[in-house]
Structure 1
């Protein structure tokens, strides 16, 4: 969320309403961890709900891995939310919560969402948590409305998100392949100009910063980049000083999301990692607060 629209989340229902906007899509058959530091949401992670016949050692390894990733974000607590049928969600939520505790994190709540209703595994009071659960917030809840007003998007499912980020194909892919070959030749020319390592690094750093700023100007004004510009930026971003420079300039403005989505979809496979990481930071939920 942008600093101009900080979402207040003060109940399990409001947190459930916020999750699709933290992830970018409405989860289903999923385990989601929403991690906080103090009063602010700092990180959200999701993985598929385990299959019924998945071996126990794989289940424990998966939960431990998720907990380790969450703990590395510098958070101090988390809420675990399982989406799906009770017989699959209940053990998965319990495993994930226990793995988080082993990492030293406080588990604030453990929730299940099934068929539009939610339950808390931590609540034992029938008046607060009736046996048939509570209705999930409607799509037009106050949290959803505030997130939408702030420019956040919650796609209908993960498949829609994957499709939105899918690499270009056909003639567009062929054009990018040719443009990338030209960019690689351009980089080789830089190396020929400065054969010693320090000189080459200096030239790459300067070229990368120039390319990042040019991309920002273009997308800020509502334009895009030509194939050769995207390919050149992609080739330069594999160099850490260039990637770090782009990361330092990251913001959550919609045009930045458009920019890094476009670059991610168009670069050749060897150059996907940097724009993917940068795109993930443009949707950082660090400004979402909970009481």
Structure 2
């Protein structure tokens, strides 16, 4: 993933090791992590499974480093960290480092992290043979990252669980709310006042339903629903089931989705909104919410969460274009900072 993290100086190896989980969003295990630097600044971090064939790993990491160099400043050096207690972890990490060096990347550091210890893989005397003791929680980097609001989940599976769907009574309640929302949408588009919920005339889509064409009413209702959702989320609130269902039904229209996209960025409350809706969404309606979650996560530098959201989006709709666009950005190592804010609307 590309990174636009807060700027501070990592002066010790332990600071580097303490910071990696916050760059990735989780604590890696059985992994190789490569950090690409432009001069002295980390501008890309990527992880791959330790057990993958070396050639596949090197090609993947090289593509990410090259893409980051094309889109940002050229990568001038790399650092690698292997994770795993298995003796083969050290040799695999060395092999990947040698292969990247052969491709022209200056390798500044190669470390192995195992348990509560680490050791250098470039020399035999700068760390003890059994490794130097290491407590991640006491590192300055971990303290600063926590202060900046960065979060490192216990493992990759924990990130995937963040986007898992709700179950039980909550899922049943949302299904019923979606049924009501679909009836409401049918009434809105058909301009049937009898089918609308007249007990709540302030709901978007019920007021002024007779104004304009069905298409105009749809866009107006979708815009209002998005604006209401963002206002509630910004104030620390949460959409009730009917509000959530109404919004998710309307977001199937790309114009309504794009209105939400243009008003979502890297604010934590925006990410919380789309995460909540992704978890509550009906499978057939999920692609827009999960893609908006991926957008906010990517803009926040949480590439792993963005990837998890995109997998849910594409499982719901394999052809969803926004999900494919964001997937390509992740795979190409596009930096979130390479895009400025949306133009003022």
Residue equivalent to 2:232: 218
Distance 1:97 1:254, change over 3 A: same
- Matched-pair contact (CA < 8 Å) for 1:7–1:147: no
- Which one of the candidate residues 53, 57, 63 is aligned to 1:68? 63
Q: CA RMSD in A?
A: 4.0
Distance 1:176 1:142, change over 3 A: same
Alpha-carbon distance, 1:168 to partner: 0.6
Moved more, 159-168 or 95-104: 95-104
Moved more, 92-101 or 16-25: 92-101
Residue equivalent to 1:124: 123
Distance 1:2 1:84, change over 3 A: closer
Residue equivalent to 2:310: none
- Matched-pair contact (CA < 8 Å) for 1:41–1:287: no
Aligned length: 273
Distance, in Å, in 2 between the alignment partners of 1:244 and 1:233 is 12
Residue equivalent to 1:196: none
Alpha-carbon distance, 1:248 to partner: 6.5
1:23 matches 2:21:
no
Residue equivalent to 1:171: 169
Give the structure with the higher percent strand. 1
Distance 1:227 1:26, change over 3 A: same
Structure with the larger RCO, 1 or 2 (CA within 8 Å, 6+ apart): 1
- Bigger-Rg structure (1/2): 2
Distance, in Å, in 2 between the alignment partners of 1:65 and 1:238 is 36
1:156 matches 2:154:
yes
Residue equivalent to 1:261: 275
Secondary structure in structure 1 of the residue aligned to 2:79 = strand
Residue equivalent to 2:312: none
Distance, in Å, in 2 between the alignment partners of 1:163 and 1:242 is 25
Q: Deviations over 1:211-260 (max 9, x none)?
A: 44433322221111123433444452783883586267412x44234223
Distance 1:259 1:241, change over 3 A: closer
Distance, in Å, in 2 between the alignment partners of 1:106 and 1:245 is 43
TM-score normalized with structure 2 length: 0.62
Alpha-carbon distance, 1:117 to partner: 1.5
